Structure 1
């Protein structure tokens, strides 16, 4: 029965239809009961006929101005004038056409929100005073009618203004959701998270947000505050096991939200956050790669629809985290494929050429006196060591997952001995703790970093001694490299003058490079994650 019923959803057409219906019912009322107006029937017919034609024209051929255009004030000015005249001609304050006046209030609210509600209420009050002024002056005071109808218009305007403000707020939030940044996930995870949570903060109207999520690589807690972002990786299985129920549950009680919030902040080492319980709300999110929860702290908007907006925002953040994971997986896959291709090229070109060069050195050494062979033997040993390293790189690149963990003190010590022979310098190595292990790929990258730093220090800085300190940190590794060379020129601009090859390799590892001293001697600090 109701399947064929279609409700008008275009606000402009709905307003024009309401205007036409009001005019038709007014005409029907005068036709069926011509006793009112008794003395101004002709004038009422003229006004009603003109207004009916105006309403019909707007319904059939309305100008397609934007819904909120100020030009619609002309249309509603005609509405006010026509209905005011009809009320005046048909008994003033006792007019049967008074119920049509709220149409103007409804139309202006739909069009301009709370501003329209205020505009409509002002127009209604002016019309009420203008129409009822004669009744108030003729000795038969109808002050009570004026007061009650004034109160009616003001109450209606206030309630409609509330819905108009809600409509405006919803439109603004939809615009903010549509404007969510689709910027590519950068290598700087902290900057990417800060931008995303800043946008979510503006959308939700809260200065502080706490984001908690867990994936196959571990878990992270991020606290967005007005003065920046605090980020903490938490790997304790007991912590995530205790949070498992909260991450999956849609709605948490205020008491549970507060206890969870304080437990998370304590585990991250941030102390008490101390928000008001009524100003905290949260929502979970789940994706194929992660699960988490978004906590809104110090929420200023306590409206019911804010809860639904929090859920939408949390789901959107979950999708963004999944996009970040996919982008990183694609980048890792592309890097692995490039590594395999490079290993194949090294095996087929450089390694074969080094082998041929070694054979030629042996032939040359056999043809010269034995006392003159020492320099050739040193070069030959160096080439053999390079061949060994290339073969190891090729084998590891062909099966990246099989690279076993390495004890860094041993692997870096071997590299230090080879570098000392190659560049004729001294390298003091310190690894704390001495038994520290790292994935094979990380160990290989650290070896490459040390090799490039040594080459730069000797070739460009004339260094004869280097000091290398490697320490374990909470999030990864910290390597400090200092030399006694001439150093680098202090940059005049704010952008540091990074050693290019080192900076690019560290950036690919999602690490940080800082220059501690430019001269005399270069000192730098390298921080890289273990994962």
Structure 2
């Protein structure tokens, strides 16, 4: 294909030259500058525009004007009066017509080239960034869409049929923001009459009551002054894209491109949702296998250990009886945790979506850990009676268990402060101890810095990332402070 391409170009140029020669012969043999075949020059200009865009139009215009001037010079030499014997009307108007037609077709060619380049970029769509840990991993796709349309900001709003919230992604040249809002915020987003349509919005429009086209809260929240917006509707998700701060309307082609971009983003979202569902199904299968292994292996081992400790009670002296009893209580707690895990896995995702009292469960857990590690814990939960899904509670349980255990075992802490706070659909967890800190680390570290240097509590960082959140660490000789930010 690459070897044949120059041959094709040479063939096009050859045919173009033959067309020009034939047209010139027709004009020369039929009254010269007054020839009715002058119209052939216009068709040649159109052909050049279709083949080589604005470059073909302008270069062919220059060539045809030169040829026409040469024809005039030839005619003037054959006349005794010279140029005075020529008909001035075609002498002036026809070159002028060629120049005007060339400029107009050059503009058409420029528009055609821009449309072709936009379509080429649309074909080279990057697709979703599955490695990103986000509800809508579309940073590359949004950046690509903004590049196609030449806009500095892009707003994507989408929702799923069974979800009580809307997902919002605001992309700009500097960053990308992911948000969740209640299902009824921003109303119908656009007026009901424009719900399934693609349209331009200009805040200064006079002929249309533009303020009613887009929800007022939405316009004020994202400073929408001019936008091109298009909807998408797919089985798993639906939404609308807003191309913000347009440099110009762009005509019907811009509307068509916006519709194509909206559909492409919708398809990417649907692919991501399907992929997530498959990953969840695979994870549940693995959890079921692990639960079976725990039931048949670890749980039976814990039961056997409890029996041996029970027998040891009758043979132990008075001083060790209390220690053995506490050890039996720890084993009993672990048995309960394993049984709860097995039962939750057997029931599948139903229990994960069930909402439970986070306040009571966290205080109960901290009470058990306080007795287990002989450490003083101070717990603050805001707001009181905080509720969340059982899936989130399950992960918070293990975060607190691991963090508090590390504080006592490795940090030699005697007091730990635990703060759990809910704000803007995020759960903020702070764990601060009075231990010796991490000997090899001093200072503050973000989640990215911990991952880049492969330092800090790996399991806690991995669990936070799995939940779509992040962990920050601050350590000194007076203790460690962990801060988690997790979406609810």
Q: TM exceeds 0.5?
A: yes
Q: 1:123 deviation in Å?
A: 0.5
In structure 2, distance between residues paired with 1:247 and 1:456: 57
Residue segments in structure 2 that go unaligned for 5+ positions in a row: 202-207
**Structure 2 CA distance for partners of 1:282 and 1:352, relative to 1, 3 Å:** same
- Asked if 2 retains the 8 angstrom alpha-carbon contact of 1:213 and 1:291, the reply is yes
Q: What secondary structure, in the 3-state scheme, does the structure 1 residue paired with 2:479 have? A: coil
Per-residue CA deviation, residues 200-252 of structure 1 (Å, 9 max, x unaligned), is: 11112222222222222221233333333344321153644575836743256
**Structure 2 CA distance for partners of 1:239 and 1:208, relative to 1, 3 Å:** closer
The reply to whether residue 360 of structure 1 matches residue 308 of structure 2 is yes
The reply to whether residue 487 of structure 1 matches residue 446 of structure 2 is no
The reply to whether residue 134 of structure 1 matches residue 74 of structure 2 is yes
In structure 2, distance between residues paired with 1:81 and 1:266: 60
Q: What secondary structure, in the 3-state scheme, does the structure 1 residue paired with 2:85 have? A: coil
1:274 equivalent in structure 2: 225
**Structure 2 CA distance for partners of 1:177 and 1:264, relative to 1, 3 Å:** farther
Per-residue CA deviation, residues 16-72 of structure 1 (Å, 9 max, x unaligned), is: xxxxxxxxxxxxxxxxxxxxxxxxxxxxxxxxxxxxxxxxxxxxxxx9545984785
Q: What secondary structure, in the 3-state scheme, does the structure 2 residue paired with 1:312 have? A: helix
- Please give the residue correspondences for 1:409-448 in structure 2 after superposition, counting only pairs within 5 Å: 409-448=359-398
The RMSD of aligned alpha carbons is 2.9
Number of residue pairs the alignment of both structures matches: 462
1:294 equivalent in structure 2: 241
Q: 1:170 deviation in Å?
A: 2.2
Q: What secondary structure, in the 3-state scheme, does the structure 2 residue paired with 1:189 have? A: coil
TM-score (norm 2): 0.85
| Larger relative contact order (Cα-Cα within 8 Å, sequence gap ≥ 6) | 2
Q: 1:120 deviation in Å?
A: 0.7
2:98 equivalent in structure 1: 153
In structure 2, distance between residues paired with 1:290 and 1:421: 48
Range with bigger deviation, 73-82 or 228-237: 73-82
- Please give the residue correspondences for 1:226-241 in structure 2 after superposition, counting only pairs within 5 Å: 226-237=173-184, 239-240=186-187
In structure 2, distance between residues paired with 1:446 and 1:508: 12
Q: 1:500 deviation in Å?
A: 0.6
Range with bigger deviation, 364-373 or 428-437: 364-373
In structure 2, distance between residues paired with 1:244 and 1:153: 49
In structure 2, distance between residues paired with 1:396 and 1:477: 23
**Structure 2 CA distance for partners of 1:65 and 1:438, relative to 1, 3 Å:** closer
Q: 1:310 deviation in Å?
A: 1.0
Per-residue CA deviation, residues 343-375 of structure 1 (Å, 9 max, x unaligned), is: 211111000000011111111222233443222
Range with bigger deviation, 74-83 or 501-510: 74-83
In structure 1, distance between residues paired with 2:188 and 2:60: 58
2:285 equivalent in structure 1: 337
Q: What secondary structure, in the 3-state scheme, does the structure 1 residue paired with 2:154 have? A: strand
In structure 1, distance between residues paired with 2:113 and 2:200: 30
- Please give the residue correspondences for 1:458-477 in structure 2 after superposition, counting only pairs within 5 Å: 458-477=408-427
In structure 2, distance between residues paired with 1:246 and 1:326: 31
- Asked if 1 retains the 8 angstrom alpha-carbon contact of 2:306 and 2:328, the reply is yes
2:320 equivalent in structure 1: 372
Residue segments in structure 1 that go unaligned for 5+ positions in a row: 1-62
TM-score (norm 1): 0.79
In structure 2, distance between residues paired with 1:197 and 1:477: 28
- Asked if 1 retains the 8 angstrom alpha-carbon contact of 2:358 and 2:388, the reply is yes
Q: What secondary structure, in the 3-state scheme, does the structure 2 residue paired with 1:150 have? A: helix
- Please give the residue correspondences for 1:67-78 in structure 2 after superposition, counting only pairs within 5 Å: 69=9, 72-73=12-13, 76-77=16-17
In structure 2, distance between residues paired with 1:481 and 1:229: 29
In structure 2, distance between residues paired with 1:473 and 1:284: 31
Per-residue CA deviation, residues 261-313 of structure 1 (Å, 9 max, x unaligned), is: 4524357x44x4333xxxx3322110112221222223235222111111111
Give the greater-gyration-radius structure (CA). 1
- Asked if 2 retains the 8 angstrom alpha-carbon contact of 1:68 and 1:112, the reply is no
Q: 1:447 deviation in Å?
A: 0.8
Q: 1:519 deviation in Å?
A: 5.1
Range with bigger deviation, 490-499 or 312-321: 490-499
- Please give the residue correspondences for 1:10-89 in structure 2 after superposition, counting only pairs within 5 Å: 64-65=4-5, 69=9, 72-73=12-13, 76-77=16-17, 79-81=19-21, 83-84=23-24, 87-88=27-28
In structure 2, distance between residues paired with 1:81 and 1:519: 90
